[in-house]
Amino acid sequence: MEPAVPRAEIETRMRAFQEGLRSDGLEGAVVVQTTDLYYLAGTAQSAHLVVPADGEPILYVRKTLSRARRESPLERVEPLRSLRELPDALAAAGVPGGCIGLELDVLPAARYLDYVRRLVSYQIGDCSPAVRRVRALKSAWELERIRRAAEMLSHVGEWTAEVLREGMTEIELAAEIERLLRRHGHQGVLRMRAFNSDVHYGTIVAGPSAAVPGGTDTPIVGTGPNAAVAKGASSRPIGRGEPVLVDLVGAWEGYLADQTRTFSLGPLNAEFKEAYEAAHAILLRVAAEARPGVPASRLFELAQELAGERAGNFMGAGEERVSFVGHGFGLEIDEPPFLARGYDEPLEERMVFALEPKFVFPGRGAVGIENSYAVTSGGVEKLTSAPEELVEL
């Protein structure tokens, strides 16, 4: 059976990652997070990927070795029976000492302390910046999968028009659309890197629910089904004349795409309509300015400027406003680049990002739009293709 990720893809990623390790002064890295393992080794089995800054990587598998050998294109896939063997595993990969990187942005503290105790001959550094820099630049192979993820979202307008009815709850609407996504190949599971964060198929909220603030760093949170989840769709019935936000993440063979569209049952009032048109205008203008070399923070600043007199409701209301207007994605929904205040790294060709201008009106609702884009040599390619107009059913 051919590996799911081509050998050439893994080899290119590994070379770039090793270059990043050398640039960051690391002798090697031990990679254990599931998404990073899949990216660098082609398998999500429980394993420790030992990567020397120079030399051949070795995937040491705890569970399950036979499956990891089928899935990974790496030449050396070997068993790791106990963490006591990890120092020997590093030495066998050509890293007998020095500073090695761990994924410190996601590694639990207890695991980190255990590694420190076992790896007494090493200094511990952080390899997560090198991982994230490599993952931010998508290959043609990755972009194919991202386009498939985006394509499944192209049906959202027709699906919503078919199933949305007065009195159905937000959860009922979400369940109908999620069922259709699943039938179109959606993998169901989505990944997010940030601590204490999770993501389902997305967020479907209507009327006042869309303006309920919460602890997640997003402009739209929602009430959620209960206080334990505290975000997303709720059991509130959807009424006429209120905006319905359908913010969904497509997923195909691990890769994601993000899109938001706004609907209503019957006409919206003038304030909501005008805010939606403003959001759409911001989307078009900011996308037109995005190209290699433009600092990501400049695009956020431009969006803020364009919001003008509506700035108090842009990307949240009052103290609940967030300091971004877009985010990268790939295998996770929160990858670089971040179109955010203070994120001054320039865009590069082969990056992808979602741009999501939204306006929130406390106690009343929210409107907005979101597309996913790939950065090209001369600008951006729009990946999501559902009709962009406000849909009043």
The encoded tokens of residue 368 equal 């907005």
Can you list the residues of the chain whose pLDDT is less than 70?
A: 1
Single pTM value for the model: 0.97
pLDDT of res. 1: 62
43 HSE (CA, 13 A, CB side) = 25
Backbone φ and ψ of 120, nearest 5°: -70, -20
Long-range own/partner contacts, residues 158-165 (CB < 8 A, 24 or more apart): 160/244, 160/246, 160/261, 160/263, 160/391, 160/393, 161/263, 161/391, 161/393, 164/238, 164/244, 164/263, 164/265, 164/393, 165/265
pLDDT per residue as tens digits for the range 16-34: 999 999 999 999 999 999 9
Structural domain 7-135, CATH architecture? 3-Layer(aba) Sandwich (3.40)
Q: Say if CB 132 and CB 107 are below 8 A apart.
A: no
Token look-up 């996770």 returns 332
The encoded tokens of residue 246 equal 């359908």
In angstroms, rounded to a whole number, what is the distance separating the alpha carbons of residues 164 and 144? 31
pLDDT of res. 3: 82
What ranges do the domains of the chain cover?
7-135, 138-392
pLDDT of res. 378: 96
In angstroms, rounded to a whole number, what is the distance separating the alpha carbons of residues 229 and 216? 11
Rounded (10°) angle between helices 34-41 and 128-136: 60
pLDDT of res. 2: 72
The encoded tokens of residue 156 equal 């959202």
Structural domain 138-392, CATH architecture? Alpha-Beta Complex (3.90)
Residue 264's beta-bridge partner residues? 392
In angstroms, rounded to a whole number, what is the distance separating the alpha carbons of residues 118 and 79? 18
Q: Compute the 3-state secondary structure of the chain and give helix, strand, coil in percent, each to the nearest 5.
A: 35, 25, 40
**CA of residue 335 relative to chain centroid, distance:** 5
> What DSSP designation does 236 have?
P
pLDDT of res. 318: 86
**CA of residue 31 relative to chain centroid, distance:** 20
Q: How far apart are the first and last CA of the chain?
A: 49
